Amino acid sequence: MMLEPAHTAVLAVHWQVNIIRPEGFFGPMLAEPVAISGVVDRATALHEAMLSAGLPLVFARFSIPVGGGGLVRNTGFMRSVAAAQTEFRPDSPGSQIVPEMVEQAAAAAVFDNQKLSALAGSALPHWLTARGIDTLLITGVATNMAVEQTARHGTDFGFFVHPIADCVAAATPESHATSLANLELVTAGCLSSGQVFEQLHVTRH
């Protein structure tokens, strides 16, 4: 199935200081492998090209407002962030989009939630369908956590979901590869950024 520009959006998941920068909450686990992978540069280039072509770009941020919002402490992951929730306040340094993508986020839609899936606990699914979007191109971190959860969730919502394999990353190459193999089976299929540029006839920046 070829991508149709009029019905396609890019969903950029958790490109935040807390997730991928050394000073962030998950920095000890993710900062180094993300830097080594080069994924930030590739995702930034993809986002820029899609914006220039007029496709919707949506950033999903994990943040925790005072009172906890929709946070449910039902996993070890959620209990750990709940214990450090002041670091995840919407206006905290760690919750901000990484510097490489700040200008893109200013030109995009930004949705915050307190879930692992970017599509849970916010108005984002309605926002997408109201604009005729039925296809999602997912970039983000981590492949085997928020990206996979979002991709599976989006598929169950009825979206055609394509994880962009060279624009996502995980803590280890093994977990990244295993997650992509799973997603190949349970989504509309993984694509490379090169395939996206080719199918949408978009120039790489």
CATH number at residue 164: 3.40.50.850
Identify the pLDDT of residue 82.
98
Question: For residue 1, with 0-12 CB atoms within 10 Å meaning exposed, 13-18 middle and 19 or more buried, which class applies?
Answer: exposed
Contact 25, 87 (CB under 8 A): yes
In a domain, 163, yes or no: yes
First vs last Cα of the chain: how many Å apart? 25
Contact 189, 136 (CB under 8 A): no
The Cα 31–Cα 40 span in angstroms is: 11
Query: What's the total number of domains in the chain?
Result: 1
* Dihedral sign of CA atoms 132, 200, 197, 44 in order: negative
In a domain, 1, yes or no: no
Identify the pLDDT of residue 205.
67
In a domain, 2, yes or no: no
Domain range for residue 147? Answer: 7-200
Using 50 as the pLDDT threshold, list the residues of the chain that sit under it: none
In a domain, 53, yes or no: yes
- The residue count of the chain comes to 205
Residue 31: count other Cβ atoms within 10 Å of its Cβ: 18
Residues with Cβ < 8 Å from 186, sequence gap 6 or more? 151, 152, 155
